């Protein structure tokens, strides 16, 4: 049986790994074909550490071919362009692929919520190119600011606004604060530290949606003490060049604007012609299958899966994608004639957000941690999530190096 997986991200790559790894007697007949636009798995939770030089950028990725080196798994670097559910085939940039079972895990893209000017003026944080570009732009600004004798112009060059104070926005603001004040000001000697400004913008009344209130309060105090300009209740109406206009009539200027306010499902799932939610995610049944098509599964950021307890849709998170991959792997490896498995049930293991070096907030089951202890837990959890001994060693080396030496400031352009 040919199982075709679309997307080599958390859901797709880990599903292929589970299907290749435990090739039990019931799954011997499974031939897995993974179709992915990239030939690597990008560990998105570490993208910010790549920007600020805590982790070497090449170490943010794992080659799919080494991760999935199993006899029954084939990798094709190609882009899926369309899906024909009736004929059970996919059109890709490199020809047609037929399937018996299809697993769609194409992830998500940035959601600008139709805010005029946002797409044109903002940087995004979704892929490796975004990491390289944002890092280069920040260093470029410091180079220019270092040559600038006019104080006002230097301030303009060193102002950075982040729109969206969820975990990504918060980690980016605090990470960049650390990088700027602990590393960059040391080497850019004409830059006045008081000219560096980081603005964190949030439409709602608090940061880190979904986190425990005590942790949110702690994080807000920490951010304010870092002199990051936190603007709550500030919904963005439009962006004109480098001017951010709020619905309350106020404006703010920033030379660099990063949009971390939301995501929407990859447009590939729109082609299925099934109901989508407000984030463009396709609705699936309790077994993660496309309604009316038991041979098609949708996983990760592209699927709308209600939480079995609350009925609320599960958030777009790596831990959701990983648990779904494991669930579908078990389903596919099951021999014929067995009872259908129980519906998919997400078990939240915790929530983690770093707040710059040696600071974080974490909640694990009913336990809450802040500061250095939370930061240590944050790193330990991610170290265990990183697959492969080689990757773990590289990560530990990068982190240890960043603890004792200055982060890299090379502008590679
Ligand atoms: C900056 C950042 C930080 C994050 N931090 C955390 C965190 O700390 N904790 C957490 O739980 N989650 C975090 N997330 C969210 C998490 O990374 C996602 O929820 C997770 O990656 C979703 O997995 P996925 O497999 O659905 O999509 P992805 O991992 O995005 O993978 C999708 C894959 O599909 C491929 N693809 C797309 N279209 C096609 C096509 N047409 N043809 C072929 N291939 C295609 C893409 O190239 C990609 O490889 C973070 C996300 C970002 C952006």
Q: Which string of DSSP letters, residue by residue, matches 55-109?
A: S-GGGGEEEHHHHT--TTEEEEE--EEEEETTTTEEEETTEEEE-SEEEE---EE
What pLDDT band is residue 382 in, cutting at 50, 70 and 90?
confident
Average pLDDT over residues 177-204: 97
Question: Dihedral, CA atoms, 106, 108, 114, 120, nearest 10 degrees?
Answer: -100
Atom of ligand 1 at shortest distance to CA of 47? 1
Q: Is 188 in the pocket of ligand 1 (CB under 6 A)?
A: no
CB of 126 closer than 6 angstroms to any ligand 1 atom: yes
168 Cα–ligand 1 center, Å: 13
Q: Is the pLDDT of residue 245 over 70?
A: yes
Provide the pLDDT confidence category of residue 385 given band limits of 50, 70 and 90. Answer: confident
On whether the CB atoms of residues 7 and 104 are closer than 8 A, the answer is: yes
Q: Report CA-CA distances (Å) from 177 to 172, 344, 356, 396.
A: 8, 40, 7, 23
Per-residue model confidence (pLDDT) at position 335: 62
- How far apart are the C-alpha atoms of 377 and 14, rounded to whole Å? 23
Where does 160-234 have alpha helices with state H? 167-178, 185-187, 213-225
CA 197 to centroid of ligand 1, rounded, Å: 30
Report the alpha-carbon distance of residue 407 to residue 233 in Å, rounded: 34
Residue 294's CB is within 10 A of a number of other CB atoms, namely: 12
The pLDDT score that the predictor gives to residue 29 is 79
Over residues 52-103, the pLDDT tens digits come to: 999 999 999 999 999 999 999 999 999 999 999 999 999 999 999 999 999 9
Whole-number pLDDT of residue 22: 63
Measured between alpha carbons, how far apart are the two ends of the chain, in Å?
47
* pLDDT over 70 at 24, yes or no: no
Regarding beta strands 243-246 and 251-253, do their DSSP bridges make them parallel or antiparallel, or are they unpaired?
antiparallel
C-beta of residue 251 within 8 angstroms of C-beta of residue 245 = yes
Return the pLDDT at 28: 57
| β-strand pairing of 197-201 with 159-163 | parallel
Whether 300 lines ligand 1, by a CB cut-off of 6 Å, is yes
Q: Pick the atom of ligand 1 nearest to 352's CA.
A: 8
In angstroms, rounded to a whole number, what is the distance separating the alpha carbons of residues 120 and 124?
Answer: 11
Q: What is the pLDDT of residues 41-53, one digit of tens each?
A: 999 999 999 999 9
Residue 162 has pLDDT above 90, yes or no: yes
Q: pLDDT tens-digit profile of 197-213? A: 999 999 999 999 999 99
Structure tokens at 69: 């080196």
The confidence score (pLDDT) of residue 139 equals: 97
| Gap from CA of 321 to ligand 1 centroid (Å) | 9
Task: Say if residues 80 and 35 touch (Cβ distance below 8 Å).
Answer: yes
Substitution candidate for ligand 1 out of 6, 7, 386, 387 with most atoms within 8 A of CB: 7
Quote the pLDDT of residue 386.
81
Could you tell me the distance, in angstroms and rounded to a whole number, from the CA of residue 10 to the centre of ligand 1?
Answer: 6
Mean pLDDT check: name the lowest of 33-42, 51-60, 141-150, 375-384: 375-384
Q: Is the CB of 200 under 6 A from ligand 1?
A: no
Give the span between the Cα atoms of 76 and 408, in whole angstroms: 34
Nearest CA to ligand 1 atom 51: 44
The first and second tokens of residue 354, run together, are 């770093």
With pLDDT > 90 as the criterion, what percentage of the chain qualifies?
Answer: 88
- Asked whether the predicted pLDDT for residue 352 surpasses 70, the reply is yes
| Model confidence at 384: pLDDT above 90 | no
CATH number of the structural domain 2-110+263-348: 3.50.50.60
Domain locations along the chain: 2-110+263-348, 118-261
Q: How far is it, in rounded angstroms, from Cα 377 to Cα 359?
A: 10
- pLDDT band per the 50, 70, 90 thresholds, residue 26: low
Residues, the chain: 413
For residue range 295-347, list pLDDT tens digits in order. Answer: 999 999 999 999 988 989 999 999 999 999 999 999 998 765 556 679 999 99
Res. 255 pLDDT band, cuts 50 70 90:
very high
CA of 305 to the centre of ligand 1 (A): 16
Q: Identify which has the larger pLDDT, 323 or 388.
A: 323
Tokens describing residue 164: 């969206």
CA 361–ligand 1 middle distance (angstroms): 23
Residue labelled with tokens 């773990």 = 392
Same fold flag, 2-110+263-348 and 118-261: yes
| Strands ordered across the beta sheet of 236-240 | 236-240, 243-246, 251-253
Percent of the chain with pLDDT over 70: 97
Q: Is the pLDDT of residue 105 over 80?
A: yes
Kindly state if the Cβ of 11 falls inside 6 Å of ligand 1.
yes
pLDDT for residue 413:
78
What would the mean pLDDT of 213-237 be, rounded to a whole number?
A: 96
Is the CB of 154 within 6 Å of ligand 1?
A: no
CATH 3.40.190.10 corresponds to the domain 118-261 = no
107 touches ligand 1 (CB under 6 Å) = yes
Atom 20 of ligand 1, residue of closest alpha carbon: 318
348 C-beta closer than 6 A to ligand 1:
no
Q: How many CA atoms are closer than 13 Å to the CA of 57, on its beta-carbon side?
A: 17
Per-residue pLDDT band for 365 (boundaries 50, 70, 90) equals confident
Question: What is the β-pairing status of strands 61-63 and 73-77?
Answer: unpaired
Question: What pLDDT score was predicted for residue 21?
Answer: 83
Evaluate: CB of 45 within 6 angstroms of ligand 1.
yes
Q: For residue 204, count other CB atoms closer than 10 A to its CB.
A: 12
State the distance from the centre of ligand 1 to the C-alpha of 12, rounded, in angstroms: 10
3-state secondary structure of 378: helix
Written as six digits, the tokens of 153 are 């112009």
pTM over 0.85: yes
Determine whether the shortest distance from the Cβ of 106 to ligand 1 is under 6 A: yes
Average pLDDT over residues 382-403: 88
Specify the pLDDT at position 334: 78
Distances in whole angstroms, Cα of residue 262 to Cα of each of 113, 125, 169, 302: 8, 10, 10, 13
User: Ligand 1 centroid vs 386 CA: distance in angstroms?
Assistant: 15
pLDDT at 110: 97
What lies within 8 Å, CB to CB, of 143 at 6+ separation is: 188, 411
Alpha-carbon span 393 to 382, nearest angstrom: 13
Averaged pLDDT of the chain: 94
Rounded to the nearest whole angstrom, what is the distance from the C-alpha of residue 393 to the centroid of ligand 1? 23
Does ligand 1 have an atom closer than 6 angstroms to the CB of 79?
Answer: yes
Position 15 confidence tier, pLDDT thresholds 50, 70, 90: very high
- With 70 as the cut, is the pLDDT of residue 242 above it? yes
Mean pLDDT, range 92-120, rounded to an integer: 97
């Amino acid at each position: 049986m040919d199982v075709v997986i679309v997307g080599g991200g958390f859901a797709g790559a880990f599903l292929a790994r589970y299907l290749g790894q435990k090739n039990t007697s019931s799954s011997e007949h499974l031939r897995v074909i993974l179709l992915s636009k990239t030939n690597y798995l990008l560990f998105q939770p570490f993208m910010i550490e790549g920007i600020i030089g805590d982790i070497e950028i090449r170490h943010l990725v794992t080659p799919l071919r080494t991760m999935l080196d199993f006899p029954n798994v084939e990798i094709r670097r190609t882009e899926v362009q369309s899906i024909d559910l009736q004929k059970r085939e996919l059109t890709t940039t490199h020809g047609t692929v037929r399937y018996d079972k299809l697993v769609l895990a194409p992830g998500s893209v940035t959601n600008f919520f139709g805010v005029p000017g946002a797409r044109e003026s903002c940087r995004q944080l979704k892929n490796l190119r975004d990491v390289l570009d944002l890092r280069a732009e920040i260093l470029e600004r410091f180079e220019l600011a270092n040559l600038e004798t006019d104080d006002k112009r230097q301030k303009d060059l060193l102002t950075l606004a982040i729109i969206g104070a969820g975990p990504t926005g918060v980690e980016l603001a605090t990470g960049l604060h650390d990088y700027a004040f602990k590393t960059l000001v040391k080497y850019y000697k004409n830059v006045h530290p008081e000219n560096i400004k980081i603005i964190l913008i949030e439409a709602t009344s608090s940061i880190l949606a979904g986190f425990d209130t005590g942790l949110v309060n702690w994080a807000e105090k920490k951010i304010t003490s870092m002199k990051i300009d936190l603007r709550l209740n500030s919904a963005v109406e439009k962006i004109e060049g480098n001017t951010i206009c709020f619905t309350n009539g106020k404006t703010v200027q920033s030379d660099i604007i990063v949009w971390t306010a939301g995501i929407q499902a990859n447009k590939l799932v729109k082609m299925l012609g099934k109901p989508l939610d407000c984030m463009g995610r396709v609705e699936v049944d309790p077994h993660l299958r496309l309604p009316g098509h038991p041979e098609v599964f949708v996983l990760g950021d592209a699927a709308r899966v209600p939480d079995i307890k609350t009925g609320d849709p599960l958030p777009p998170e790596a831990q959701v994608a990983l648990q779904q991959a494991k669930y579908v792997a078990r389903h596919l490896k099951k021999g014929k004639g067995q009872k259908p498995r129980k519906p998919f049930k997400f078990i939240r293991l915790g929530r983690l957000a770093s707040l710059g070096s040696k600071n974080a907030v974490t909640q694990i089951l009913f336990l809450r941690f802040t500061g250095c202890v939370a930061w240590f837990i944050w790193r330990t959890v991610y170290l265990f999530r990183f697959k492969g001994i080689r990757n773990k060693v590289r990560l530990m080396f990068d982190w240890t190096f960043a603890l004792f030496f200055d982060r890299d400031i090379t502008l590679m352009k």
